[in-house]
Amino acid sequence: MSREPRGAVWTVGGWLQQWLDGRTRLRARTRVGYQEHIDRYLNPYLGGVPLEELTPALARQAFERISRHTTPRGKLLSAATVQRVRATLRAALNTAVRERLLASNPAKGLRLDNGESARPVVWTDQAVARWEQGVERPAVAVWTVEQTRQFLDFVSDHALYALFHLVVMTGLRRGEVVGLRWEDIDLAHGTVGVARQLQTHPGEGMVESEPKSAASRRTLMLDHTTLGVLRRHRHRQQTEAAEHGPQWNPRGYVFTAVRGGPMAPERLSRLFRELNTASGLPPVRFHDLRHGAATLALAAGVELKVVQAMLGHASIVLTADTYASVLPEVAREAAERTAWLVLQDAGKVRRQVRGRGGRRGLVLVPPRSHPGPTGRTARPGPSPARL
């Protein structure tokens, strides 16, 4: 990393920019985020402070003011955003320590409100009623099985039906699904590979980049119904491409805008909001379809480790923490199955009988009948938990 001329004094703002400029291998979107943290939050309160005079007290005072920032919608800055701004400052100051510009990191012991990450809430009848009454709208919400079916039915004739169907079934991220090319999909073996994502960067337009993390580069198995949906979508797209001839984009995107070009992620979100509103279903974000895919998989009895791999989470802890709000539904189904296993024989009684040598043995006597926890004598099938 380059240094200022001998005798120059770093300011916090000058060092932050020098630190960011020196990180040449950052993803474009990550760089934009760091620059926003520096320009919008850190420089106004710490930018003019000489780096060597920065103290834990000054850092704490700055973040007390940053935490009172409001978003363009008039809401307080989320605790998660404040945490990310602190992470930017700490990373830059750690580098200053390694460069021997500071003896220690003044932001190292800075404590902030952890806040509570919004977890998916299922749109149950009670949740819908509260929303319709204007009482409460969950920050992150997912549809029930029936609501998901209703949405897919509503968009069944839409040109992008296959996109919505695929996201509902696999939980692909927005950038991942718009970045898919036909070369990533193996219709013969029923797989889809996540090899890239498509994002919009200020001043650069749409940019292809690597998946979000190493775990995000993954291969997903597709069910037969989804494969049929994709085959029909490809046939329709091939017909459209033939009509446009050489004007059709040759890069082979699965889901396209005009003349085969890539679909902007933001445009997809706007389209989904319009369709959601027109369907009459309770509101969810496009990203919530990803949450919904995980929720429905868990309710269907899919193991948490498998859901982690499907979503491309680097840690199973993240998966478990994110879906803690829906896991009770799965746990309740497991409890019912366990109770049935135990109580199906609860009507059997033990009686003492004499065996050889006058010793008593235990003999199980079949019961007349036992209703069990549900009042049924027939063995229940492996029905998924109702969401």
DSSP state letters, 273-335: HHHHHHHTPPP--HHHHHHHHHHHHHHTT--HHHHHHHHT-S-HHHHHHHTTTTHHHHHHHHH
Cα separation of 271 and 275, whole Å? 6
Please write the tens of the pLDDT for every residue from 348-361: 444 444 444 444 44
**In the chain, at which residue ranges do the beta strands (DSSP E only) sit?**
121-122, 141-142, 185-186, 191-193, 197-201, 205-209, 219-221, 349-354, 360-365
Q: Is 74 helix (H, G, I), strand (E, B) or coil?
A: coil
Cα 129 from Cα 135, distance rounded (Å): 9
pLDDT at 275: 97
Q: Are 178 and 198 in contact (CB under 8 A)?
A: yes
The per-residue pLDDT for range 174-195, each reduced to its tens digit, is 999 999 999 999 999 999 999 9
Neighbours of 21 (CB within 10 A): 12
Residue 384: partners with Cβ closer than 8 Å, 6 or more residues away: 145, 299, 300, 301, 333
How far apart, in whole angstroms, are the C-alpha atoms of residue 40 and residue 42? 6
Tally Cβ neighbours within 10 Å of residue 203.
Answer: 6
Q: What pTM did the predictor assign?
A: 0.69
**For residue 279, with 0-12 CB atoms within 10 Å meaning exposed, 13-18 middle and 19 or more buried, which class applies?**
middle
Per-residue tens of pLDDT for the chain, all 387 residues:
545 544 468 999 999 999 999 998 887 778 889 999 999 999 999 999 999 999 999 999 999 999 998 887 777 888 888 999 999 999 999 999 999 999 999 998 888 876 556 677 889 888 899 888 887 788 788 998 899 999 999 999 999 999 999 999 999 999 999 999 999 999 999 999 999 999 887 777 888 888 888 889 999 999 999 999 999 999 999 999 999 999 999 999 999 998 999 999 999 999 999 999 999 999 999 999 999 898 888 888 888 899 899 999 988 887 887 776 665 666 666 677 777 777 765 554 444 444 444 444 433 333 343 343 444 444 444 444 445
The answer to whether 299 and 387 have CB atoms below 8 angstroms apart is: yes
Residue with tokens 């998946």: 211
Q: Is the dihedral of CA 157, 163, 167, 173 positive or negative?
A: negative
Give 331-338 contacts, CB < 8 A, sequence gap 24+: 332/385, 333/299, 333/301, 333/384, 333/385, 336/373, 336/374, 336/380, 337/380
Q: How far is CA 81 from CA 33, 60, 314, 324, 337, in A?
A: 11, 16, 21, 22, 42
In this structure, what token pair is assigned to residue 160? 């992008």
DSSP H helical ranges for 144-223: 145-154, 161-170, 174-178
